[in-house]
Amino acid sequence: MITAVLNQKGGVGKTTIALHLAAALAARGAKVMLVDADPQGSALDWAAAREGEPPFAVIGLPRPNLHREIPRHAETYDHVVIDGPPRVNELARSALLAADTVVVPVQPSPYDVWAAREIVALLREAHVFKERQIARFVVNRKIVNTAIGRDVVEALAEFELPVLPTALCQRVAFAECAAQGRTVLEVDPQGPAAREVRALCEELLAASAGGQA
């Protein structure tokens, strides 16, 4: 499965989700590659900050012909996760064409909901070429014990793109792990952040297996 984490808005947590999704898939015993398609190279920086090898391969591939190169890598991996660029451009379009599944992170903010329109429009364009592609919103940095997460799910309903039931909450653990080149699954595997990551991974796998667009 090739999964792209995309949104034209920067700062929504694409790299955090891509890294943790790759880690969760690897923890299930899968052979996983994370492709850093962001020219900023945040996932590569994460890997460089780490002591020892990560539980999945990490390569940089910020090229507009990504959709032509990814299949070659996918032949030797069970899963490829693409950490997409921070805006809609040729790189994002190429990542979209490469992907079987697309994850669109959205923070619980009106600005994020408004910004989602552009990536949804791009998904509709790509549907002509990728009829079986699965796409899902995921709410990221939800504030615990507030109604904001529920409100953003209601606001996203206008796009007719499903929202995964599990949200990733705003937790210090994610930031602390990033500085160490690690994930919450390693640092606190039984903690709430790790449980959210695993649940999110299972929901995404179920959506992909079900083939529900």
Q: How does pLDDT run across 152-173, given as a tens digit for each residue?
A: 888 888 887 899 999 999 999 9
pLDDT at position 108: 87
Question: Which CATH number fits the domain that encloses residue 15?
Answer: 3.40.50.300
Distance CA 119, CA 9 (A): 9
| DSSP-derived 3-state class of residue 105 | strand
pLDDT value, residue 19: 97
Report the domain count for the chain.
1
Q: Which residue, chain included where needed, has tokens 């034209």? A: 8
**Residue 81: per-residue pLDDT:** 97
Give pLDDT, residue 88: 65
Cα–Cα distance measured from residue 3 to residue 156, given in angstroms and rounded to the nearest whole number: 21
> Would you state the pLDDT for residue 149?
67
- Is pTM beyond 0.95 here? no
Q: Which of 59, 55, 1, 50 is nearest to 27 (CA)?
A: 55
**What is the predicted pLDDT for the residue at 113?**
86
- The reported pLDDT for the residue numbered 114 is 86
Residues of the chain short of pLDDT 70, as ranges, are: 88, 147, 149, 211-213
pLDDT value for 211: 59
Task: Give the per-residue pLDDT at 193.
Answer: 96
Which residue range(s) make up the domain with 85? 2-210
